């Protein structure tokens, strides 16, 4: 009787494990991609040796804005106000540019805002300006399901 229980339990667990393996493979692939990007960013290289600079021309000098102040909208930011889904916040401008390119290829319309806190600049990669919170929540769930991303919603 014990063997039947073990066999039945095994038969029930196999479909669950197989169903999760595809998501795990995608999450592992994305994690590997992110690690590679971080390593290349440390050496100054950019994936594919291309630079998508949404913020400035090389050599431009920026004044650091006041603490807690978001700089003016970057190119590509939708006009108006609403709810945005933030997928990343990073100090490296080139990595933020890479993420904009990646999410553009995936069919989204990402943009970058810059926020300064404690004397550090953070490049926030965001998608959309939605009128309703439910639309933003729907995108957040889609990103979590498709790319295992822990995004969050912010009011702009």
Q: Please list, residue by residue across 15-47, b when 16 or more beta carbons sit within 10 angstroms of its beta carbon and e when fewer do.
A: eeeeeeeeeeeeeeeeeeeeeebeebbeeeebb
Residue 36 domain-assigned (yes or no): no
Total domains present in the chain: 1
Residue 151 domain-assigned (yes or no): yes
Q: Are 152 and 85 in contact (CB under 8 A)?
A: yes
Residue 25 domain-assigned (yes or no): no
Q: Residue 125's domain spans which residues?
A: 48-54+65-155
Residue 147 is encoded by which pair of tokens? 């790319």
The rounded average pLDDT for each run of 10 residues, N- to C-terminus, in the chain (156 residues) is 65 56 67 65 42 38 45 65 94 94 94 91 93 95 94 90
Q: Say what the pLDDT of residue 134 is.
A: 95
Residue 14 domain-assigned (yes or no): no
Residue 118 domain-assigned (yes or no): yes
CATH (domain of 144): 3.30.70.1070
Q: What is the model's pTM? A: 0.54
Residue 32 domain-assigned (yes or no): no
């Amino acid at each position: 009787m014990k063997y039947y229980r073990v066999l039945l339990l095994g038969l029930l667990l196999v479909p669950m494990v197989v169903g999760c393996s595809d998501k795990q493979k995608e999450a592992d692939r994305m994690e590997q991609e992110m690690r590679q990007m971080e390593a290349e960013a440390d050496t100054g290289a950019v994936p594919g040796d291309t630079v998508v600079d949404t913020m400035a021309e090389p050599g431009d000098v920026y004044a650091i804005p006041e603490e807690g102040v978001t700089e003016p909208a970057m190119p590509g930011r939708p006009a108006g106000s609403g709810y945005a889904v933030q997928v990343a916040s990073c100090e490296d401008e080139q990595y933020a540019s890479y993420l904009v390119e990646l999410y553009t290829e995936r069919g989204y319309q990402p943009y970058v805002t810059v926020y300064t806190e404690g004397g550090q600049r953070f490049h926030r990669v965001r998608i959309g300006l939605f009128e309703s919170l439910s639309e933003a929540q729907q995108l957040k769930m889609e990103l979590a399901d498709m790319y295992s991303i822990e995004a969050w919603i912010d009011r702009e």
